[in-house]
Amino acid sequence: MSGSLVLDDVGRRYADRWAVRHVSAALQPGQVTGFLGPNGAGKTTTMKLVAGLLVPTEGTVHISGVDVAQDPEAAKARLAYVPDRPYVPERLTARELLHYVAGLFGLSGEVVRTRGLDELARFGLAGREDDLLRTYSHGMRQRALLAASFMRQPELLLIDEPMVGLDPEGRRLIKRMLRRAAEEQGACVLMSTHTLDVVDELCDRVLVMNHGRLLADGTAADLRALVNTERPADVTLEDVFFALTEAAAD
Ligand SMILES: Nc1ncnc2c1ncn2[C@@H]1O[C@H](COP(=O)(O)OP(=O)(O)OP(=O)(O)O)[C@@H](O)[C@H]1O
Ligand SMILES: [Mg+2]
């Protein structure tokens, strides 16, 4: 299933402070977009606005043409959001989690038995389906939630800092799975992260945010060329990150 994401002049204010302002971007199906920015830049706020968990103070968000504020149910049916601190219902097993998520989104038990368990296995949890999530490690919880998200085959996959606390194998697995969602299912994937090498390796496109504003939007090569037009290959993504975010602080 392919999906698009369009943000049009989106802003969100907390009391008298704007956390996000004047954000416009159009993300394509079949692409993985990395979302970069220092702590407090506004990444999580933006993702929650897209996920329909926060209401924009101004502007609109469309997911595959559906206005999130106008039709939140239809929008939420098309997206999966994996938050930075993955909450799992600890009293459920992974298999029960799949049934619970399927039930929330009107999917049949058959989908759990076929796609759901298959996704758990792809995320390295074969044999652990009937263990309580309470007994899962951080990385295993994250993978169980991702498997539940993938089971739904969302058009838009929002994932907030998926690499935190994962071992090298866990990171590699997530990179592969995000590529697969984009390439095989045509999903639009937006991933926030502080791990710049992952962005370089995985992402088709990069958004850089600071102080609630979008500072750059393009391929990693485009961003390198912003910093050094003559010899972009000499520039690391870290150079780009600091050049953009330090300039904005002035
Ligand atoms: N519930 C809230 N009430 C008030 N201010 C908030 C709230 N949530 C976030 N903010 C503010 O909004 C701004 C953006 O925060 P946000 O969590 O979106 O940043 P982030 O880019 O995700 O940062 P990090 O990399 O640390 O996760 C910050 O100034 C933060 O203090
Ligand atoms: Mg955040």
Q: What is the pLDDT of residues 4-60, one digit of tens each?
A: 999 999 999 999 999 999 999 999 999 999 999 999 999 999 999 999 999 999 999
Q: Parallel, antiparallel, or unpaired for β 213-218 and 205-210?
A: antiparallel
Residue 40 domain flag? yes
Q: Is 21 in the pocket of ligand 1 (CB under 6 A)?
A: no
Closest ligand 1 atom to Cα of 37: 21
Work out the pLDDT band at 248, boundaries 50, 70, 90.
Answer: low
> At 194, which CATH number?
3.40.50.300
Q: Is 242 in the pocket of ligand 1 (CB under 6 A)?
A: no
Work out the pLDDT band at 71, boundaries 50, 70, 90.
Answer: very high
Average pLDDT for 124-152: 95
Closest ligand 1 atom to Cα of 38: 25
Closest ligand 1 atom to Cα of 84: 27
Residue 52 domain flag? yes
Residue 70 domain flag? yes
pLDDT of residue 249: 54
Range of the domain at 45: 5-85+156-249
C-alpha angle 101/45/165, rounded to 5°? 65
Report the Cα–Cα distance between both ends of the chain, in Å, rounded: 43
pLDDT of residue 104: 94
Residue 92 domain flag? no
Lowest mean pLDDT among 46-50, 87-91, 206-210, 243-247: 243-247
* Whole-structure pTM value: 0.94
Residue 208 domain flag? yes
> Has residue 250 got a pLDDT over 60?
no
Q: What is the pLDDT of residues 227-237, one digit of tens each?
A: 888 888 888 88
Residue 140 domain flag? no
How remote is the CA of residue 18 from the centroid of ligand 1, in Å? 10
Residue 132 domain flag? no
How remote is the CA of residue 82 from the centroid of ligand 2, in Å? 12
Work out the pLDDT band at 130, boundaries 50, 70, 90.
Answer: very high
Number of domains in the chain: 1
Rounded alpha-carbon distances, angstroms, from residue 161 to 47, 167, 207, 227: 11, 14, 14, 25
| The residue to which tokens 């045509």 are assigned | 186
pLDDT of residue 89: 94
Q: In percent, how much of the chain has pLDDT > 70?
A: 98
Average pLDDT for 239-250: 78
User: d(Cα 214, Cα 244) in Å, to the nearest integer?
Assistant: 10
Q: Is 14 in the pocket of ligand 1 (CB under 6 A)?
A: yes
> Has residue 193 got a pLDDT over 60?
yes
Residue 147 domain flag? no
Q: Whose CA is nearest to atom 12 of ligand 1?
A: 19
Q: Is 207 in the pocket of ligand 1 (CB under 6 A)?
A: no
Work out the pLDDT band at 163, boundaries 50, 70, 90.
Answer: confident
Q: Is 193 in the pocket of ligand 1 (CB under 6 A)?
A: no
Q: What is the pLDDT of residues 81-129, one digit of tens each?
A: 999 888 899 999 999 999 999 999 999 999 999 999 999 999 999 999 9
Identify whether the C-beta of residue 116 lies closer than 8 Å to the C-beta of residue 153: no
- Give the bridge partners for 67, in sequence order: 62
> Has residue 157 got a pLDDT over 70?
yes
Q: Is 210 in the pocket of ligand 1 (CB under 6 A)?
A: no
pLDDT of residue 233: 82
